[in-house]
Amino acid sequence: MDLQSLANLFATTYNPDPNVQKTGELQIRKIGAQEGMLTALLQIIASDGVELATRQACSVYLKNRVRTSYILPPNPRPDHVPIAQSDRTALKANILPLLSASPSRSVTVQVAATLKDLVANDFPDRWPSLLDDVKRLLGSGDVREVGAGVVAALECVRAFRFRQKADVLPGIIATLFPTLVTIADGMLNTSPSQPASQEIPAMLHLILKTYKTAIIVNLSPHQQSQESLVPWGRLLFRVVEMIVPVEGVPTNEEDRERCEWWKAKKWAYGILGRLFHRFGNPSQLPSPMQKEYGVFAQNFVTAFAPEIFKVYLHQVELYVSGQAWLGKKCQYQIFQFFTECIKPKSTWILLKPHVDNLVANFAFPQLTFNASKQAMWEADPVEYVRASVDEYENFSSPVSGATSFLLSLASNRTKTSFLPMLQFINTVLRSNPTPAQRFGALTMMSVLGPFIVRHPDVKGSIEQFMVQYVLPEFTSQEPYLRSVACEVLGVVTKAGIAWATEENLNNHSRAVALALDDQELPVRVQAALAITELVVIHDSVRDAVSPQVGKVVQDLLKLSDETDLDILNHSMEAMVDRFQNELMPVASQLTARLCESYLRLAREGLAQQNETVPDGIDVESLVSDGDDDKVYGAMGVAKTIGTVVSCIDSSPEILSQVQEVIIPIIRFTLENKLIDLFDNMYDLVDALTFRLHAISPNMWPVFELTYDLFKSDAVDFLDEMLPSLDNFVSYGTDVLKARPDYRSKVLDMYRTAMTSPQLGDNDKINGCKLAESMLLNLHGHVDDQLQDIVTIAADHIDEGETASFRLANLEILVNTVLYNASAALHFMEAYKSGFSRTFFERWFAAINSDNKLPRVHDKKLSILALCKLLEMEAGAIPEGLRDGWPGIVGGALNIFKGLPQAVAKRKVLEDELVEGDDDEDEDETKYLNLEGEEDEDVWDEDSAYLEILAKEGARLREKSEKAETGDDESDISEESEIEEELGFFSPLDNINPYVTFKEALQTFQNQNSALYQAATTMLTVERQTVLMEVVTVANQGDHN
C-alpha cells in the first residue's frame, strides 16, 4: 500500500461515521504486522503534507505496536507477530529526527513514549550510538533540536527509572547531565517575559523533570560528586528564587499553577526535597543505604541543607508578606522540607527559632476558611466534603503539608513545640477572631486533638475548652463553624476524652444529633461521623440514640448516596455493629437499601468502564481514568452489607432472608466481570454460606459463574474464591453427590490450578485445598475422579519452589489413601510402576522429621490415613510395599509424639487471636515525645518503618542478583514456617485420632497377625511408651 493510501486509511479512524471508523480499524489490524508498515508510518508522521490528525493517529498506532510487539511476552497470542528487523532498524534511525520535526505536542508525547520503549529494550547493547546522537541534538544551535534532545534525555532516564540495579542509568546520567545543566543555566538568562521564551520554560521544566526522574531509586556516583552537585544545586536555587514577571504568566491562579515557569519551580522544589529526604539526611538514612550514601548525606546536611533552609525561609517571608506569589504545590514542597527538618538534630537547630512564626503565619492561614473554600462549599458541597475529609491525603495540598508539619512538631518535638501551639490556638480564640479565623483555630484543634487528649499537662482542661469554644459553634450562623464543631467533637471522642460531667457529654451529643438535620450537607456529614464515634464509645449516648436508630441509619444511607464517601460506610458499619438487636427486625429492609446503593455504584462504575473512545486504535485510551470513587464506594457498601451479615448470624431465618436479597448483587458483579469488586463479593458468599452451613438453590448459579470466571477472566482469583468454593463442597454435599457435572467442575479447577502457567505455588496450594475438600466431604462419590487426582498430584511430587506447596501436594496423595487406600495405591502403580514406593518414601521422610508435618491437621490426616492402611486386608497390600508395612505403626506413633505440642501451640494461637481482638489500646508513645533530650535526633515509628523497608529491599535485591548469576542458595531453610490456619475447618476436626488408631491397630492384629507381630516387635522403648500413652488416651475417649 502506498503512503497516501495508508494515510487515508488512518484518517478513517477519526471519521464521525462509526461504520467507516470500524472498517478502517479492521483493515489496519489486517495489514498491521506487515514488514515495512512502521517504516511507512514514520514517513507519514514526518510529512508536513499530511493532515495533523492523521499524523497523530499514526503516532498513536506506532507507540502501541512497539509497546506490544517489540519484545513479545513469554506466552504470546498466535496472532501476535513481532516487528520485523528492517522496521526495528528504521525506528532507531528515524525516531530522534522525527522528535525534532514533531508538528505538535500530542505527536511528541506519542513519539517520546515509543522512544522510551526502544531504549528500554535495545540500549546499550543493540543501540550503542544513542547517547552520542542525543548529545548531538543537545549541542545543536536549533531550538527544536535542543528541545528534541531534552525530551530524548528524559525518555532515556525514564526507561530505567525503576531499575534497582545501577548498571545502565549511571552511564546515561554521567554522559548527558553535564550538558543538560549547562543548557538550563543558559535558559535562565533569558527574560521570562520575552515572546520567544515560552519554549524556554517548557525545556527547563523537562530538564528538571529528568533530574527528578533519575533519583527515584538511586543517586548515581556522578550526582553525588561535587562537580555535579554544585552546578545543579546552583541551578535549583536560581529556579526557586527566580521572580517570574506578571506578564510572563497567566493572571488566573489555577492557570498560573499549570504554566511552564511554575512547573519548573515545582520540579526544582521537588528535587531539593527528594535529595534531602532520601539521600541527604544522615540521621534518618536506613542502615542498608549508609555504605552508599553515608558520606554524601553527611556532606549534604552540613553544606547544602542549611542553604535550602535559608532559601525556603526567604520564599515563605516573601509569600507571607504579600511580596510574592507561591504556587500550592510549591507551598506543599516547602512544608514537606520543613517537616523533614524536624527530626534530625542538625536541621532542627536551624528550624527551632522559626517554629512559632511558621506555625502562626504559614501553617495556620492554610487551615482558615477562605474564599476558595467558600466558593466550593456553595458550588459543590459534595466536592467540599470530599476535599475536606480527604484533604490530609492530598499529596499536593498546602493544607496537607501544613497538617503534616503540625503533627510532626507535636509528636517529635513535643516538649518545645506542643504547648506553644495550644497557646496559639487559645490566643486566636480569645482575641475576638473572625469566623474564618475561629474555623482555622478549631481545625488546628482537630489536627492536634489526639495529642491533647493524651498530654498529661492539658488533657484535664480539654472538657472546659469544648464547653467554652466548641459547643457554642453548634448554633453558629456560619455553617462551616457548625461543621468544624462536629469534626472536633468526633476527633476528641475517638481519641478518648474523659468527660468529668455527664451533662457536658449529653449537651454535646444532643447538639451533634440536631446537626444531623442541618440544612447544609457538609455539616450533616461531619455530624454523622461524630455521632458514630460517640455511640461507639459511650453507652449513655448509644442508649439515647437507640429509639431513633432507624432514622439515624436512614440519614446515613441518604448521605452515603448523596456523597459516595467511603468514610460514611465505616460509620454505617459501626452503627450496625452497635445496634445489632435494634436493627435485627429490619435487617432485610436495611440490606435491600444497601444493595440498591451498591447496584447504583456498580452500574455507574461499569458504565465508566465501558465508555467508548473515538480513537479505537489507542489501546491506552481504553483504560479509562474514570472515577474510582464509584468502585471504592461500592466496596465500602459491600463491607457494610458484610457487617449486617455478621451481626445477624444468631438468627438463621433472618440471615436466609438477607441472603436472598444479597445474591442478585453478587450475580450482577460476577456476570458483568467487575473484577475490582470480586474480593468483596466472595467475602459475602463465604460469610453467608459459612454462617448458614447450607447452600440455597439460588446460590448454586454463583458456583457456576465462579467456575466460568476462573476458566476465563479470573484465573488468578482462586485465593479469593477458595473459602466460598470450600463451603460449596462442605455444605452442598447432597447437591454435589447428585451432580457429577458439578464434581467435574471442582476437579477441573484443581487441575487448572496445578497446570496453568499463569499461576504460582500459592494458587497450586489453593487448588490442593479444593481437591482435599472433595476427598474429605464427598466420600464414596469421587471414585470416578480419584485416578485423575492421583495423576495430577504424582506429576508434581517433586516440583514447587516452597515447602508449603510440596506438603500440600503430598497431602493430596495422603488424602487419596484416606479416601480409598487400595484404589489409591493401585492408581499410583498405574501412574508409574514403583511410584507407590516413591510416595511412601516422601511421606515417611515427612513423618520421621521434626517439622515436615507442622500443623494439627497435617498430623491428624497422616495418622488417619495410616490407620486406613493398617485396616487393609493382607491380600490387598501391594507386594512391593509389604516389607515396609510394619513401619506404619512406628510412623503413626512418631506423629502422636508431636501431636500434643501441635495442639497446645494451636490453642495458644487461638487464645492470642481472641486477646488480640480485645486488645486495641494504642501505643501512647507514638503520639508524644516526652522522653530524652529535646534537641537530639529523633528516630520514630516512621523512621523504623523506612528502615524495615530498606532492609527488605536490600534482601530482595541481593536474592535477585544471586539468582541472575546462579548463586542463589536460598532453600527450604530460608522459607517461612508453615503456620496454623485458624480459619480452616475440616471434617477431620471431629474425629478422635487416638480412638481411631486403637481400633485400626486391633483390626491390624486380627487381619495381619504376622505383620502386627513384626510391627510391635521392632518398636523402640520410646515408641512403646508412646503406644501405651496413645491407648490410655483412646480409652478415655471411648468412655467419653
- pLDDT value at residue 280: 95
Amino acid at 628: D
Length of the chain: 1040
Residue in 215, 213, 214, 205 with CA at minimum distance from that of residue 236: 205
**HSE toward the beta carbon, residue 486, CA cutoff 13 A:** 30
Report the mean per-residue pLDDT for the chain.
90
DSSP run (H or E) holding 214: helix 199-214
- pLDDT value at residue 959: 73
**HSE toward the beta carbon, residue 793, CA cutoff 13 A:** 35
Percent of residues, the chain, with pLDDT higher than 70: 92
Tens digit of each residue's pLDDT (9 = 90 or more) over 319-330: 999 999 999 999
Stretch 677-697: mean pLDDT: 95
- pLDDT value at residue 484: 97
Q: pLDDT band for 925, please (50, 70, 90 cuts).
A: low
Comparing 165 with 501, the larger pLDDT belongs to 501
Planar angle of CA 148, 152, 155, nearest 5 degrees: 145
| Cell output for 260 | 511552564
- pLDDT value at residue 373: 93
Q: pLDDT band for 141, please (50, 70, 90 cuts).
A: confident
- pLDDT value at residue 876: 84
Comparing 493 with 569, the larger pLDDT belongs to 493
- pLDDT value at residue 675: 92
Q: pLDDT band for 681, please (50, 70, 90 cuts).
A: very high
Tens digit of each residue's pLDDT (9 = 90 or more) over 366-377: 999 999 999 999
The residues, ordered by sequence, that sit 6+ positions from 125 with a Cβ below 8 Å of its Cβ are: none
Q: Which of 299-303, 347-351, 806-810, 926-930 has the lowest mean pLDDT?
A: 926-930
pLDDT at 935 over 80: no
Comparing 29 with 708, the larger pLDDT belongs to 708
Judged by phi (left if over 0) then psi (alpha if -120 to 50, else beta), residue 432 lies in left
Environment class of residue 976 by beta-carbon count within 10 Å: exposed (0-12), middle (13-18) or buried (19+)? Answer: exposed
- pLDDT value at residue 171: 96
Environment class of residue 947 by beta-carbon count within 10 Å: exposed (0-12), middle (13-18) or buried (19+)? Answer: middle
Q: Which of 524-538, 730-744, 795-809 has the lowest mean pLDDT?
A: 795-809
- pLDDT value at residue 972: 40
Stretch 386-414: mean pLDDT: 83
CA distance linking residue 517 with residue 511, whole number of Å? 11
Contact assessment for residue 243 and residue 324, using Cβ atoms and an 8 Å cutoff: yes
- pLDDT value at residue 919: 45
Q: DSSP letters along 886-925, please?
A: THHHHHHHHHHHHHHHHHHHHHHHHHHHHHHHH-----GG
Q: Which of 57-66, 479-488, 847-856 has the lowest mean pLDDT?
A: 847-856
Tens digit of each residue's pLDDT (9 = 90 or more) over 606-659: 887 765 433 333 333 333 333 466 888 899 899 999 999 998 888 899 999 999
Judged by phi (left if over 0) then psi (alpha if -120 to 50, else beta), residue 813 lies in alpha
pTM of the model: 0.82
Tens digit of each residue's pLDDT (9 = 90 or more) over 952-1001: 777 777 776 666 666 554 444 344 568 888 777 889 999 999 999 999 99
